[in-house]
Structures are given as structure tokens and as C-alpha cells.
Structure 1
Amino acid sequence: MLAFYAVVLLIVATIVANTVYPYFPLIPKAFYQIFAGAILSLVPMYHHFVLEPEMFMLIIIAPLMFYDGKNANARELRKNMGSIISMAIVLAVLTVVGMGYLSHAVIVGIPLALAFALAAIVTPTDAVAVSSITSNMAVPERVMGMLERESLFNDASGLVAFNLALTAFTTGQFSLGDGIKHFFVVFLGGLLIGVVLGLVSVIIRVFLVQSGKDSSSVIIPYDLIMPFLIYLAAEHLELSGILAVVAAGLIYSASSNQLRLSSTQLQLVSRSTWDFFTSILNGFVFVLLGVSLPTVWVNIQRDGTKSLPSFLLLAVILYLVMLALRYLWIRFDWAMIRSGKKDRSRNALIGALSGVHGTITLAMAFSLPLTLHGAAFPFRNTLIFVAAIVIILSLLVPTIVLPFILPKKTTVVDPDTVIQERKALVAYAAERLAQENPDNTAAAQSVIETLSSQATDIRPDRKKVRALINQAAQVEVKTVQSLADNHVISNGFANRYVRILVMKSQMSSHNPFVNLSLWFRFISHRITFMFSHNWRRVKHVARKQQRENYLKIEADIYTNVINFLTEISTVDNQTEVNAVRNYYNARHSRFVANKSTDQQNELFIQAFQYEYTYIQQRRTAGAIPSELADELYQQVSTDQMLYTQEFAGAD
């Protein structure tokens, strides 16, 4: 149970950090997650938290790397193979060697093999962390592409170098020739096994789809379990599991045309599931960093605080030297990103600052063995502490510096304009649908309610909703008056109905006098009617017809209220009108069952056509730009696909 509670708390901490981030987006999301983890470390079960390295790599890193490979552009990778080799292999190896000797020189007490292990830990970069920092900045496309491609493969370079360094330290034996040979066997072998298993996985998936077993309950679990199986298979063969899952993900990317043969609903569910899954896992990484730092700090203090300034100095030196090395590598175009001479210095600075360390660095740091020959592994806390400081520096420095170098990201389409136009097209479709289907108000309003819920996620204003409910109640009273005047219902029934309506209105309003005015209006109308008509003569007839016409009463009230709401609906009050409409739709559905699903489906198709017509008219008239029209077309098309799949599943 403790393990279950620990995982639940990690998820909660990740959700809280992700919830706070949108309110203060100037601070990268990773910092909120680290802070949430630090708070979580106060919980007793995390006081001596130790992360199991193998489980961390399997459960978190494998699916993340598979997802990155799956979303990579295989054609771009082939086109930029030279840049990948330069950044992910050549630069990575040089960084490990240079930083290893540097670490050993700064702190002489660290064995050279462990110094190389530390250098391997801090070498890999993390494109996801870069995206978190630069989400509101316009990063040059060439630089961002280089960073994404580099992070796919330099993880494996760092891991292989890390394992070689650990082997050399634990066995005391190391051969340069054997080390190079082992590096290429593990590197290329991981790629090969990943390609083979990726092809097998794609073939099986296509077979499942073609044989009709393409339900989300089959395909989604199948896709989710693949990276774990591929990683375990590669590690069992002593090859790079990370490269294996990356290669398998690239096979999925290259086979996208075959994988799109599945239903639209399945593709949307799969995309949403993977987005959610990887978002949580990415958050886990930095939450775990925050959880682990207090324990590492306590352990270092226990070992002796005299060396702490040296460890901090080493972390700063490693970061600055790596920053300078990356700058020179990109500045002299050894990174082969083909920057123009004018942009080369600027791109080099951006590329150097964007060499953020995150997921893999933390994973390798925690992968250090807990013990060696029955004793505590030497310098384990030191290496983890230095790696953590490098991670924080690599996040903090670009957060401060990059906003002065990069312009703010400008969107082709203003999000607020999209929301306003989306409201307008839904209002247009709702009005047309109500006008064209006067004999089928309930079904039309059900469709309008569903469409309106997609227009915006803004919560309605309570005061405006209460005001609309009071106005709708007045419409109800007028309807009841008319029905009583026409002898459809008795005066007694009308009195009871209005009394109940007033009571309900008072419960939902802070101003009872506004609602009591409904009652006085009704009473004055009834008194006038009694003196101006032969009330007693029609009383018996009205009672006799009351039960027969009860459904007609509800239909008249519902129709009049909905017509009133449709008339007053505008783009500005659409959210509040929808809230009131939803209430009356729900109330009406208790009296009148919806018997025609086919008719409702036809109304959905009709509504979507009205939305397309609205966009076309606005585009033709020059009221909206082409980019905005394309965005609206895409949103309506996505909604249509979702509803079509939903109705197909219901049938």
C-alpha cells in the first residue's frame, strides 16, 4: 500500500504543479514540479526516499523516448544525419572525455573512472525541458530542430559512456580499444534490435486493425506496452534499451500511413492517451528531483560539509565549460545546421543556452549503484548533487537570458479571435437550426446544447445567469396566463404552477422582491380576466381537459422559453444563455422522451453544414483572414469526426 500511496502523491504533486503553471507562465513548469517535489519530501514516507534506477529507466524513460521517436520526422532525420552524428556522437564523446578530466582535476579525490561517469551523466540534453522554457519564445527553426534531433540520440551516447565508466570503476580494468568496440556494439545493436522489433510491432498492429480488432481497448494497451517490451528485450541482450525504443518509435513514425488506416476515433483516443501519459511522466521526473534533493543534501552534510563549496564550484565549472564547448561547436558550423553567416553567432548562443539537462541526466544519476562490495557506493551522493545543480543551472540560466535574445512567439491566429469567431459560428448554426426546425424543437435544442458546449470553456457569470432565469420565468408566467385565458388549463392549476415557480426562483436568487413581482403580475392578470369573462362557465371544461393537455402545456412553455433564449442570444452572452438553455433542456427531457436518434443525427449534420457556411461566407467577404478560416475549418472538422464516430459507436 505504501508504494500505491507514494505513486498517488507523485501524481497529485505533478497535477498541482501543472495547475499552478498557467497562472505564472514566466517561470518554467519544471521549477514548479521541482518545488512540488520538495514540498512532498516533507511527507514521512519520502524522508529517506531512494529511487530504484532500473525501474526509473523502464517505467519513465523508455515510454518517453519511444514517444519522442514516434513523433520525430523520419525524413528530416535522414536529411540531417550528419548533424545528428556530429552533435549526438562526436560532441557527446568529446564532452564526456573533456569533462571527465576536468572533474578529476577540480576534485582530486574523485577517481578518474567516476569523473568520467559524472561527465557522462551531465552530457545528454533534454528537448522537452527546452520546450518548457521557450514555450512563449520564437526559437529559430534550425536550432530547435537540431536540439530535438540531438536529444533523441545523445541520451544513448551518454548512457553507453556511463556504463563503460562504471564498469571500469567496479572492475578496475579498462581498454580503450575494447571500450570503443563495446560502444559501437551497444549503440548499433540497440538501433538494430529496435528497428526489428518496431517492424514486428507495426506489422502486428496493422494485422489487428485489418482483422477488425481495432477497438481502443485492444490497440491502446498494445501501443502502451510496446516500449516496455522492446526496452526489456534490448537490455536482456546487453544492448542499448534507450536506442531500441527510439528506433522503434521512428519505425512507427515512418509507418504513419499504414497506422492511419485505423478509425478516426481510435487515432484521437490514442493521441490523447499518449499526450496525457507522457505529460505525467515528464512531470514525474522533476517532481522526483525535488523529492530526492533534500535526502541528497542531508547525506552530503552527513559526509562532511567542508567539501560542499568544491562540489558547487565543480557544478558551475562543468556547466560553463559545456556551454562554451557547445557555442564553439555550433559557431564554427561543426553542428552542420547550415546557418547563414549573419545568424551563426546568434544561433550558436541560443543553441548553447538551450542545451538543457533533465530527464536522462537525472535518470543516470540515480542509476548509480547503492552499494559496492557490501559497502556504500563511494561519491554517490556527490555525483547526484553535482548533476542536480547542473540540471538547475541549465534550466535557470536560459530562463533568465533567452528572453533578452529571443522575441516573443507570435501566433498567426490570435487565440481570443478564434474563440470569438467560434462563438459566432455556433450562434449562427444554432439560430439557423432553430429557424429551420420549428416542429422539432427538443431535438434541435439538444443538438444546439452539445455544439454550444464546444464553443468555449469559460464559466458563465452567475449574476447574468440569474437575470436570464428571471426573464425566462416571466416567459413561463406569460405562457401560463395565455393557456389559462384560452381555457387549456384551470385557474387553480395555473395558480399552483406560478406559486411553485416563484418558490424555485427565490431559492436561486438573492433578491426575493424581483421574483415576487412575478406573482403579483399573475394575480392582477387573473383578477382582470375573471371580471371580463364568464369564468365559472369555463371552469368545469378546463378541469376536464387539464390532464389531456398537460404535455401540451410543457411543450408550449419549453418552446416559448427556448425561442426567447434564441432571440436574445449574442456572442457576448452565449455562455450564460447556454447555461439556462441546458437547464430547460434537462427539465423538458423528463417529460418528453427523445424517440428519434436518427433525426438528431441529421440535425447534427445540418448544424455542421451551417458552421461551414458561416466560415465560407466570412472568408469570402474578407471579414476573417485565411489562416483564421483554416483554423475554424479544422476545429469544426474535428468536432464532426468525433460526433460521427460517437453515433457510429452508438448504432
Structure 2
Amino acid sequence: MDATQGLWLLTVPVLAVGVAAVARRTGVSAPLALVVAGLLAAAIPGTPDFELDPEFVLFAFLPPLLFAAAWQSSLPNLRDNARPIAYLSVGLVLCTTLVTGYVVYLIVPGLPLAAAFVLGAIIAPPDAVAAVGVAKRLGLPRRVVTVLVGESLFNDATALTAFRIAVAAAAGEGVSLATGGERFLFAAVGGTLVGLAAGPPLHWLRTRLRDPLAENAVAVLAPFAAYLVAEAVHASGVIAVVVSGLYLGHRFTESPAATRVLGLSFWKVLTFILESVVFLLIGLQLPAVVEGLSAWHPLTLAWWALTVFAVVVAVRFAWVFATALVPALVARRRARTGGAVDDTRRLNRRELTVVSWAGMRGVVSLAAAFAIPVTTARGEPFPERHLILFLTFTTVLATLLVQGVTFPALIRRLGIGGEAERHTDAVAEAGAQHAAARAALERLEALVAEEEDLDEQVLRRLRELAEYRQLRAWERLGGGTGPGGTEVPTAAYQRLRREMLAAEREVFVRLRDERRIDDEVLDRVLRELDLEEVALSRD
């Protein structure tokens, strides 16, 4: 690789991070802004062709992104919502594959049915990165966010497995419905077993290293190890990554504090970079996508693209609302027969509408499209490969443009918010803080009774800190102000302490600039100040 190629490779992540940063500051949809930036960059004369290597994307990008999402997900919440998540991540993906594929088969002359199902499988899985980000920022109810996160964790496995079966059938490898079902079940079960087998030993290793850097290094390597092992036995590497990530994330509380601080910061930075790069790469694929489309009239291509987009959206709406009726019907039947009725709150119509509209497609669809083989088993060109690439790209772009742009406005229009849920969480947090601080004080008094000659100033400071933490969460329920808009003590404490920390930081930096302390000393003392300031903040 020469210097020019290296410069272009550096330009991609730099441009991606820059565009994403601007989008975050201005409130624009980052995925959409990145795709548009990629389209504009691809149109600049002299821009090289950035053709995605699908195997590289599926191995280098997908495992860490899925692992990070699983790591930060709540296993109990996912378990409580297993039914709607399964409906979306398995049932909806298969339904979209079949319905979309059959519609495309009907409207595109000469396209084999198996090739049409390849397209259906490619565009079946939504990429919930953008939807989940907006949902969290606008404060959607936790169950809606959990369902969207759970869908994004598992739908890629379903779609990629269906894609491989459809490609095998279209390439003339003699795949029947029975063998396809067997492959699907083996991939799902095998991936789950690999993930469950990988989780405990990785957790055992991490907890015995007792080194924050080494422990997080194990976590970084974990998704790639789980993916490769599962793929080596022809199981689903995606499911293996998700299952192992859920296990390790659930046990993350057993790690030391330094490991948790370092790990959470690392995964936030990594996912930000990877997500930015992959959405920019989607836009940069335009030259490769439009290649080979001269055989069709532009209006015909536009009609097919619009039809595919409309079908994908309609199928999701129909499926979400139809499956929402199942629990009600089951509850009615159990009530008639005297059985136990599930009283778990179900999503209402407004929440179902939000879930239905959160169907933006992303990089997995495009990577799968480029993974279509060029020739079949008989050495013939794969049926309408360029057309499948084009329809995949237009579907991804249309969902990001139409659904991605209107998604925040839809949420505000429907008036969906988790205000009551957030208040309940705040009250529960205050109670937990109170109980924890009381336990800390009791522990301190027990130590005082056991030990002699403890410094009274140290004990007074520890008691004051425990009392401060005991009151902090309750005062936060008032939003930082008291009657008449007066500042509550904890808010004043945080404001004044931040000013004190800023003054300390200025002194340390000045002493470093004057060469009176070394940079190593500066790093050490700044880390202590930074950790305290982070503890004062509420992210």
C-alpha cells in the first residue's frame, strides 16, 4: 500500500467521525448525515472506489458492534420481553423475506424466485442504531427501547442465515425447504450453545487477571473469538456473539471499579467510530451499486425501488399490529378456561406505531448484498446481481431518509414519553441510595467499635460523605431547585466543587508547564480529579 492509499484510508474514519460529531451537535440524524456525506464524497472526481469486502465487514464491524450492544443491554429486561422480541427478530424477518421476495418476483420479469428471496433476506433486518439512539434521547418508555434493542441484537442472525440458504438455492446447490429449515435450526441452536460455552470461561479469566487493561483486552477479543468458533462449526456467529455479550455484560458488576470505568469508556468510543465509518461506507458504495444497471430504464428502476420500500414498511406495520393481538387473544382464551392470565402491560397503539416506524436498514443489508457470489454453482452469472445491489441500496437510503428523518417528529407527535417511568426510577434510586448509605454508616460504626485510635477528622469526613449521598438522590427529585427557585444543597455542592476542581486542574497544568512536575505526575493527579468530576455529573 502506497502513501496515497494510506491517506485515503485515513480520510474515511476522519471524515466519518467529523460528520458524526457535527450531526450530534446539531441534532441531525447521524446515520443519514453520514450516508449523504458518503454519496457526496463518492461524486467528487478522483475519489477511489471503496468496495466493501463483505467478509471483512461481517467479521471486523458486526461482532464488536453487536457485542457492545449486548454488553450494555439488560438481560432481565430482554428476558421479560422475549416474546415480542422473538416475533420481530425471527418472525418478522422471515415474513419480510418471503413477502418482499415474492412481490419482487412478480414485478421483475425473468427474476428467479430464489434470487428474489435473496433480496428479501438482505433487506429484512432493520438496523436499530439510529432508532434506539433517538428513542433514548427523547425518553421513550423502557419497554419500547428494550424491544428495539432486542430486535437489533437477534434479527441479523435470522436474516444472515436465511440469506445463506436463499443464495445456496439461487446458486443451484439443491437446497430444499426441509434442508433449509435444518440449517436454520442448527445455526440458531449452535450459535446459542457456542455463546453459552464461551461466556463462563471468559468471565473466569477476566475476574482472575486483576488488571483493568488485561481484563478489557479479553473483552475486546471475546466477540471475535465467539464469532469465529461458531462460524467454524457452521453455526450462527452473530448469535454466539450476542449470547456471550449478554452473559459477560450481566456479570460485569463483579469486575473491579477501574475495569468498569475503563471498559465503558472504551466501548462508547469504539462503537461511535465503527458506526460512523460503516454508515459513511454505505454512501461511498454508490459507484459500485449503479454499475451494470444500463439494461433497465431509470423510471422502471425507480418504480421497483419505491415498491420494495413500500412493501418493507407495510409488512412491518402489519406484522407488529397483528402479533400485538396474540397476547390479548391468549389472555381471553385463558380467562374463559379459568387459566392464569398474563397481566404484563402490553404496548399500546402509539407505542406499536413507533416500533412499526423504526425500520431503518443499515450496513448489514449492504454487506450481505455484496456477499452475493458473482457466479452460480454452474459457472453462470448470478441472476440479476447488480439489480439486487441497487434495490438494497435504495431501500437502505429510503428508510434512513424517510423513516430516519421523521422518527423524532413522530415520537413528539404521538406524545410518547416515559415521564412517569423516569419519576418511578428516580424514587427507586433515592430509596436505594438511602439504604446503601445507611449500610455504609453501619459498617463504619462497626469498624470504629473494632478498631482504636482512628482519626476523628477522617471519621467525621466519612460520615458527612455518607450523609451527603443519602440526601443527594432525594434532593435530585426536585430538579436541583427548591421552593422559589433556590438552589438545593447538593446542587450547590456540585457547582462549587466543580469550580474547585477546575482551579486545582489549572494549578497542576501550570506547574507542569513550568517543569516543576512531570507529565506522569500530571496524568496521575488529573485522573483523580477527572474521576471525581465524573462522579458529580449525571450522564
Q: Does 1:245 align with 2:241?
A: yes
Matches within 5 A, 1:198-217: 198-209=199-210, 214-216=211-213
SS at match of 2:50: coil
SS at match of 2:61: helix
SS at match of 2:285: helix
Q: By how many angstroms is 1:374 displaced?
A: 5.3
Q: By how many angstroms is 1:187 displaced?
A: 0.9
Q: 1:392 aligns with which of 372, 375, 397?
A: 397
SS at match of 1:138: coil
The equivalent residue for 2:367 is 363
The equivalent residue for 2:88 is 87
Q: By how many angstroms is 1:70 displaced?
A: 1.4
CA distance in 2, matches of 1:153, 1:281: 19
Which deviates more from structure 2 when the two are superposed, residues 384-393 or residues 190-199? 384-393
Q: Does 1:635 align with 2:509?
A: no
Which deviates more from structure 2 when the two are superposed, residues 176-185 or residues 306-315? 306-315
Which deviates more from structure 2 when the two are superposed, residues 1-10 or residues 420-429? 420-429
Residues 40, 46 of structure 1: 8 Å contact kept: yes
Cα 1:53–1:229, aligned 2, differ >3 Å: closer, same or farther?
Answer: same
Q: What do residues 266-293 of structure 1 show as CA deviations (whole Å, max 9, x unaligned)?
A: 3212211111111111112210111002
Report percent identity of matched pairs.
25
Residues 317, 357 of structure 2: 8 Å contact kept: no
In structure 2, what residue type is equivalent to 1:382? L
Cα 1:326–1:46, aligned 2, differ >3 Å: closer, same or farther?
Answer: farther
* RMSD, aligned CA: 3.7
Q: By how many angstroms is 1:180 displaced?
A: 1.0
The equivalent residue for 2:229 is 233
Q: What do residues 605-643 of structure 1 show as CA deviations (whole Å, max 9, x unaligned)?
A: 9x99xx9xxxxxxxxxxxxxxxxxxxx9942799xxxxx
The two structures have a TM-score, normalised by structure 1, of 0.62
Q: By how many angstroms is 1:188 displaced?
A: 0.7
The equivalent residue for 1:254 is 250
The equivalent residue for 1:266 is 259
Cα 1:102–1:267, aligned 2, differ >3 Å: closer, same or farther?
Answer: same
SS at match of 1:171: coil
In structure 2, what residue type is equivalent to 1:270? G
The equivalent residue for 2:110 is 109
Cα 1:184–1:428, aligned 2, differ >3 Å: closer, same or farther?
Answer: closer
Cα 1:583–1:190, aligned 2, differ >3 Å: closer, same or farther?
Answer: closer
Q: By how many angstroms is 1:380 displaced?
A: 2.2
Unaligned runs of 5+ residues in structure 2 are 331-341, 424-475, 482-486
Residues 89, 158 of structure 2: 8 Å contact kept: yes
Residues 309, 399 of structure 2: 8 Å contact kept: no
Cα 1:307–1:223, aligned 2, differ >3 Å: closer, same or farther?
Answer: same
Cα 1:11–1:417, aligned 2, differ >3 Å: closer, same or farther?
Answer: farther
Unaligned runs of 5+ residues in structure 1 are 434-446, 452-577, 612-631, 639-651
The equivalent residue for 1:10 is 12
Residues 68, 152 of structure 1: 8 Å contact kept: yes
Q: By how many angstroms is 1:167 displaced?
A: 0.6
In structure 2, what residue type is equivalent to 1:254? H
Matches within 5 A, 1:511-522: none
Q: What do residues 521-575 of structure 1 show as CA deviations (whole Å, max 9, x unaligned)?
A: xxxxxxxxxxxxxxxxxxxxxxxxxxxxxxxxxxxxxxxxxxxxxxxxxxxxxxx
Question: What is the number of equivalent residue pairs in this alignment?
Answer: 453
CA distance in 1, matches of 2:502, 2:133: 38
SS at match of 1:369: coil
SS at match of 1:109: coil
CA distance in 2, matches of 1:175, 1:637: 55
CA distance in 1, matches of 2:517, 2:54: 58
Cα 1:83–1:407, aligned 2, differ >3 Å: closer, same or farther?
Answer: closer
Q: 2:388 aligns with which of 380, 383, 387?
A: 383
CA distance in 2, matches of 1:314, 1:236: 38
The equivalent residue for 2:143 is 142
Q: By how many angstroms is 1:423 displaced?
A: 9.5
Which deviates more from structure 2 when the two are superposed, residues 319-328 or residues 196-205? 319-328
Q: What do residues 40-70 of structure 1 show as CA deviations (whole Å, max 9, x unaligned)?
A: 3246675433211111100001111111221
Matches within 5 A, 1:314-325: 314-325=307-318
Cα 1:586–1:53, aligned 2, differ >3 Å: closer, same or farther?
Answer: closer
Residues 136, 409 of structure 1: 8 Å contact kept: no
Cα 1:38–1:306, aligned 2, differ >3 Å: closer, same or farther?
Answer: closer
The two structures have a TM-score, normalised by structure 2, of 0.74
Cα 1:301–1:404, aligned 2, differ >3 Å: closer, same or farther?
Answer: farther
Cα 1:338–1:380, aligned 2, differ >3 Å: closer, same or farther?
Answer: farther
The equivalent residue for 2:319 is 326
Q: By how many angstroms is 1:249 displaced?
A: 0.5
CA distance in 1, matches of 2:128, 2:84: 16
In structure 2, what residue type is equivalent to 1:239? A
In structure 2, what residue type is equivalent to 1:79? D
Cα 1:360–1:12, aligned 2, differ >3 Å: closer, same or farther?
Answer: same
CA distance in 2, matches of 1:637, 1:384: 44
SS at match of 2:301: helix
CA distance in 2, matches of 1:340, 1:74: 19
Residues 311, 382 of structure 1: 8 Å contact kept: no
Cα 1:41–1:254, aligned 2, differ >3 Å: closer, same or farther?
Answer: same
Cα 1:94–1:22, aligned 2, differ >3 Å: closer, same or farther?
Answer: closer
Residues 319, 394 of structure 1: 8 Å contact kept: no
The equivalent residue for 2:354 is 350
Which deviates more from structure 2 when the two are superposed, residues 120-129 or residues 311-320? 311-320
The equivalent residue for 2:445 is none
Q: By how many angstroms is 1:593 displaced?
A: 7.1
CA distance in 2, matches of 1:244, 1:166: 22
The equivalent residue for 2:413 is 404
CA distance in 1, matches of 2:65, 2:178: 33
Matches within 5 A, 1:175-194: 175-194=176-195
Residues 291, 386 of structure 2: 8 Å contact kept: no
The structure with higher relative contact order (CA 8 Å, sep 6+) is 2
The equivalent residue for 2:67 is 66
Q: 2:284 aligns with which of 274, 277, 291?
A: 291
In structure 1, what residue type is equivalent to 2:161? V
Q: By how many angstroms is 1:407 displaced?
A: 5.2
